């Protein structure tokens, strides 16, 4: 098995382990938070003081993170292309 396949397999295993911990955390949150959430009253808040919902904040943050990661990937690939010695050899030949 080559090095990249080994790294991909290790990454898949790590993500699977993280998913198990995430599923446990969500299950715990649903078990603990749901009974309390029913008891918390909905208080009226003027529109000017309303904060975004936590889910909206998370969505916006992850959308930005995805755009940033794509930009960094594009930059890295372009830089590696520019630094590729085989490409430089082909130009001089």
Residue ranges of the domains in the chain? 1-42, 63-93
Is residue 39 within 8 Å of residue 33, measured between CB atoms? no
What are the CA-CA distances from residue 40 to residues 1, 34, 66 (Å)? 55, 10, 35
Q: What is the DSSP string of 18-78?
A: HHHHHHHHHHHHHHHHHHHHTTS------GGGPPPPHHHHHHHHHHHHHHHHHHHHHHHHH
* Closest to 66 in 3D by CA, of 74, 56, 77, 54: 74
* Three-state secondary structure call for residue 1: coil
Give tens-digit pLDDT for 52-77.
999 999 999 999 999 999 999 999 99
Q: What is the pTM of this model?
A: 0.69
Give tens-digit pLDDT for 3-37.
999 999 999 999 999 999 999 999 999 999 888 88
């Amino acid at each position: 098995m080559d090095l990249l396949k080994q790294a991909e397999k290790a990454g898949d295993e790590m993500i699977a382990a993280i998913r198990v911990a995430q599923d446990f955390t969500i299950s715990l949150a649903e078990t603990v938070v749901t009974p309390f959430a029913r008891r918390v009253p909905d208080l009226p808040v003027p529109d000017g003081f309303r904060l975004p919902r936590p889910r909206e904040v998370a969505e916006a943050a992850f959308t930005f993170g995805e755009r940033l990661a794509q930009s960094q990937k594009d930059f890295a690939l372009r830089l590696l292309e520019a630094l590729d010695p085989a490409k430089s050899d082909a130009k001089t030949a």
